[in-house]
Amino acid sequence: MSIPLKGFCLHGKQKISPSSGIPIMSNTKVVDLEIPALKQGEILAKTLYTGICGSDNSASLGKANFDWVARPRVIGHEFSAEILELGPGEHGDLKVGDVFTPLAMLGCREEACPACSVSKWNLCPNKEIIGFHRNGGFGQQVVLESDRVVPLMKGLTPAQGALVEPLSVVVNALHNKCHIKPGQDVIVTGCGIIGLMAAELAKAAGARVAITGLASDKEIRLKAAKERGFITIEVSPENSLSTQLSAGITDANGIPFGVLGKVDLLIECSGVPQVLSEAISVIRPEGDICVIATYGQDVAINATHLTRTSLNMRGSMGSCREDYMVAQKLMVTRVFPAEHYTNIYDFKDIRQAFEDSILANNVKAVIKMN
């Protein structure tokens, strides 16, 4: 008798918070996986490694911005997998045994779509995200469109393959929206994996980088940042970023960071509305803010201050194939040291991995799926 395939499944949408008294994993369970028949252009793959994204955590906690996800849903959009079977139709050069990572976002691919016509599926108004619109990488096998397959670059491990998607999101932001120059002072707000990746790529571009976190991040995520030479700033409502910058922050060599409490660029990765509201007060005139995070509510911005200081504020959404290629290269060439930030768990411990991620007891959880 063969062992049934398993998947980690979102099934409820209770609002779970520290004060709700509801156990944090109540909306999820591990289920037996049903594999649908392959449709035109689809492939079947064995999942190798899958990363837990902040959005997976938010969906698990029943946050309002993920109410639209149909339940039950096997989540997971950051993964590597090996092709087991090609369905009917054309699959280009793909063959059984190829190891790949999928484009998380699949565009409508209509010629008339302004985003898809320039291959920016991440900006398509009708894009579909694997693991939210259809079952994803927290199943031990997965069915997906071969259009979205990105074969792994030679030298990249399957575990690193699970980090290509989040790193590609940061590549898109830093290559296309940030324009960092050597010697600039950059602050990254938020020390989840997107923040840590942004810090690494800003440093690689020649900036001096500080990263913020909460007291609860001190022992693990800020520590991982410190080990990589970043200035770490623990913020709280009583001791905000702007207060600490105005009071004066120095790097490990005692050199002041920023000028008169202002820096060149801030990259917002926390998703906390107050952090973005505060951000414009710590940027020098004509400086930049890049927003990678999303927010559960509207964010108040002092627009007059924005005008008077001539700031540039840009958003950056997801990534496309081009960014995946750069992200892979950054890992094989070790510009981004994936292993420093990765915590691998076996599939049997997936619930623990989610709990640890939600409670910030790890840096980046990646599940070995089989």
- Beta strands in 242-356, from DSSP E residues, in sequence order: 249-250, 256-257, 263-268, 283-291, 312-315, 342-346
Q: Which stretch binds Zn ion (CB under 5 A): 101-109, 201-209, 323-331, 343-351?
A: 101-109
Nearer to Zn ion (CB atom), residue 89 or residue 125: 125
Smallest distance, Å, CB 370 to Zn ion?
21
Q: Which stretch binds Zn ion (CB under 5 A): 114-122, 298-306, 312-320, 341-349?
A: 114-122
Smallest distance, Å, CB 123 to Zn ion?
8
82, amino acid identity? E
According to the binding rule CB under 5 A, does residue 113 interact with Zn ion? yes
Nearer to Zn ion (CB atom), residue 283 or residue 292: 292
According to the binding rule CB under 5 A, does residue 94 interact with Zn ion? no
Q: Which of 59, 116, 167, 292 binds Zn ion (CB under 5 A)?
A: 116
According to the binding rule CB under 5 A, does residue 107 interact with Zn ion? yes
Nearer to Zn ion (CB atom), residue 111 or residue 238: 111
Q: Which of 69, 108, 123, 159 binds Zn ion (CB under 5 A)?
A: 108
| CB atoms inside a 10 Å sphere around CB 90 | 10
Evaluate the omega torsion of the peptide bond into residue 72 and state whether it is cis, within 30 degrees of 0: yes
Smallest distance, Å, CB 119 to Zn ion?
10
Smallest distance, Å, CB 353 to Zn ion?
15
CA–CA dist 47, 344 (Å, integer): 15
Pick out residues in 215-254 that bind Zn ion (CB under 5 A).
none
CA–CA dist 177, 127 (Å, integer): 22
Q: Which stretch binds Zn ion (CB under 5 A): 120-128, 326-334, 338-346, 351-359?
A: 120-128
Pick out residues in 315-334 that bind Zn ion (CB under 5 A).
none
Smallest distance, Å, CB 54 to Zn ion?
7
Q: Which stretch binds Zn ion (CB under 5 A): 60-68, 112-120, 288-296, 355-363?
A: 112-120
Pick out residues in 41-70 that bind Zn ion (CB under 5 A).
53, 55
Nearer to Zn ion (CB atom), residue 113 or residue 231: 113
- Which phi and psi angles does 214 have, rounded to 5°? -95, 170
Look-up of token digits 């980690």: 8
Q: Which stretch binds Zn ion (CB under 5 A): 37-45, 123-131, 305-313, 352-360?
A: 123-131
- Beta strands in the chain, from DSSP E residues, in sequence order: 6-10, 28-32, 42-51, 73-74, 78-86, 99-102, 105-106, 128-129, 141-145, 149-151, 185-189, 208-213, 231-234, 249-250, 256-257, 263-268, 283-291, 312-315, 342-346, 364-368
Is residue 299 classed exposed, middle or buried when 0-12, 13-18 and 19+ CB atoms within 10 A define those classes?
middle
- Residues binding Zn ion: number (CB under 5 A): 7
Cβ contact 163:364 at 8 Å: yes
According to the binding rule CB under 5 A, does residue 124 interact with Zn ion? yes
According to the binding rule CB under 5 A, does residue 301 interact with Zn ion? no
CA–CA dist 43, 76 (Å, integer): 17
Nearer to Zn ion (CB atom), residue 55 or residue 160: 55
- Going by C-alpha positions, the residue among 99, 98, 56, 108 that lies closest to residue 77 is 56
CA–CA dist 105, 107 (Å, integer): 6
Nearer to Zn ion (CB atom), residue 48 or residue 75: 75
161 token code pair: 């393959």
Nearer to Zn ion (CB atom), residue 241 or residue 293: 293
Contacting residues for 11 by C-beta, under 8 A, at least 6 apart: 27, 28, 29, 71, 72
Q: Which stretch binds Zn ion (CB under 5 A): 110-118, 277-285, 299-307, 332-340?
A: 110-118
Q: Which stretch binds Zn ion (CB under 5 A): 2-10, 118-126, 277-285, 326-334?
A: 118-126
The helix or strand, by DSSP H or E, that contains position 194, with its residue range, turns out to be helix 193-204
Nearer to Zn ion (CB atom), residue 107 or residue 139: 107
- Going by C-alpha positions, the residue among 136, 163, 157, 104 that lies closest to residue 342 is 163
Residues lying near Zn ion in the complex (CB under 5 A) are found at 53, 55, 107-108, 113, 116, 124
